[in-house]
Amino acid sequence: MQEKMNTTLHPRIYVEETLALIKPDAIHKAEEIEDIILKSGFIILQKRKLQLSPAQCSDFYTDLYGSPSFPSLIPFMSSGPIMALTLARVNAIAHWKSIIGPVNSTKAKETHPECLRAKYGTSELKNALHGSESFHAAEREIKCIFPNSVIEPFPSREATEEYLSRYVNPTLLLGLTEFCKCKPRNPCIWLADWLINNDPNMPRICDAATVEEAE
């Protein structure tokens, strides 16, 4: 009952998760790649170094079964250790895909020279990194590598808009109204301080003199 009440009073903000793999050809650059991941605004929720068997690789890449790349992909992915990471941030799936770039590293060097596959990969097969294609793919892949994971449900557009309308916009509107009245010299700092001091989810501690005066 208490847990239900807490959920109602303090609704959770869901952050998207995705799976990242540092493949055998780039494992020696794992520390460097992790540093880039953190600087890109991701939180690393889980991490493990492992080596997949051919059977495990087949299960992981089940969606590619029957494709021309499948026969060469399985031996490559099981040829050495990999680093698996569960990454979290807003729009994690799309953001990670944009950072790693196109699947073919050779073409990526021409079209997206700044992406990670262009930097660390050497071909379409040996492209250094993996990223989940969608929320459902991320859910399946994370469970495959981290079986005990609990994947947060992805909120619908309606749920997101309702959360903003009910819990964010009213407070922000009050803050912006006060902002217009005060016209501070440092608007960003002023608004940040105002939001911290007027957070509706934080308890307000009354000044002792105020309490005495009220009594």
Exposure string of 153-188, with b = 16+ CB inside 10 Å and e = fewer, is ebeeeeeeeebeeeeeeeeeeebeeeeeeeeeeeee
Residue ranges of E strands in the chain: 16-22, 43-50, 82-89, 129-131
pTM of the model: 0.67
pLDDT tens-place string over residues 146-177: 998 776 665 666 777 787 888 788 888 888 89
Helices (H), strands (E): how many in the chain?
12, 4
- Residue 144 has a CB neighbour count (10 Å cut-off) of 17
- pLDDT at residue 99 tops 90: yes
Higher pLDDT, 185 or 121: 121
The DSSP 8-state label assigned to residue 88 in this structure reads E
- Select which of 10, 95, 112, 130 is catalytic: 130
Q: What is the pLDDT of residues 107-116, one digit of tens each?
A: 999 999 999 9
pLDDT given at position 60? 96
Give all strands (DSSP E) within 75-124, no chain letters. Answer: 82-89
10 is a catalytic site residue: no
pLDDT higher than 60, residue 127: yes
Nearest to 88, CA basis, from 141, 14, 177, 3:
14
Reduced to 3 states (helix: H, G, I; strand: E, B; else coil), residue 195 is: helix
At 65-89, the pLDDT tens digits run 999 999 999 999 999 999 999 999 9
Distances (CA, A) of 26 to 49, 54, 75, 203: 13, 19, 16, 48
Nearest-angstrom CA–CA distance, 144 and 59: 8
Does 2 score more than 50 pLDDT? Answer: no
